[in-house]
Amino acid sequence: MTRTYAVRPDRCFDVWFSLHVSSTRKEMNRHIEAYAKSTWNVVEHEPLTAGLCQATAIREFPPEGKRRWYSDQFATVFLNDEDLKKNGTEIVPHEALHCALAHERFVMHYSMDYSSCDDMEHEERLCYTHGRIVVGIYKALRGKK
């Protein structure tokens, strides 16, 4: 059985990611395949994958005109209890970083400025997003809101 959660990393914004937690890696892989078919998304993964983050394009940015929103969901994270018990301290932050980068790409539209060492505002924003995603995943895994 796979448990599914909707996680909003920042209560000030409506964007969210879905977290799917299966019991075993084998079940997670079956769930990923079923998810890919049901959503018409290509989800590339290896059978040995311990976790996965699938980014979701949620906005269209045409050169002219208004932005069009597809969804407020910017990513889907797949985890499994079997691998989390073995190495959850690495798997959760690893997938959370992929999720934070998906947020940067599809919510913030690559607005991060890596060029300045004097202004840490952009890096701090990414780090706070990453931290909130980690907290959201752990709260969901512990059954807290």
Q: How far apart are CA 7 and CA 29, in angstroms?
A: 21
Q: Which of 24, 6, 27 is nearest to 139 (CA)?
A: 6
- pLDDT of the residue at 123: 82
Q: Model-level pTM?
A: 0.86
Q: How far apart are CA 10 and CA 19, in angstroms?
A: 15
- pLDDT of the residue at 116: 63
The pair of structure tokens assigned to 40 is 């018409």
Q: Which of 137, 54, 43 is nearest to 101 (CA)?
A: 54
Confidence band of 120 (pLDDT split at 50, 70, 90): confident
The pair of structure tokens assigned to 36 is 């890919």
Cross-sheet strand order for the sheet of 16-22:
2-7, 16-22, 73-80, 51-55
Print the domain residue range for 27.
Answer: 2-142
Query: What kind and span of H or E run contains 22?
Result: strand 16-22
Contact 130, 100 (CB under 8 A): yes
Quote the longest CA-to-CA distance of the chain. Answer: 49
Confidence band of 84 (pLDDT split at 50, 70, 90): very high
Q: How far apart are CA 87 and CA 73, in angstroms?
A: 27
Summarize the confidence of residues 105-109 as an average pLDDT. Answer: 78
Question: What domain count does the chain have?
Answer: 1
Condensed to tens digits (0 to 9), the pLDDT of residues 6-57 reads 999 888 778 899 999 999 999 999 999 999 888 877 788 888 999 999 988 6
Confidence band of 72 (pLDDT split at 50, 70, 90): confident
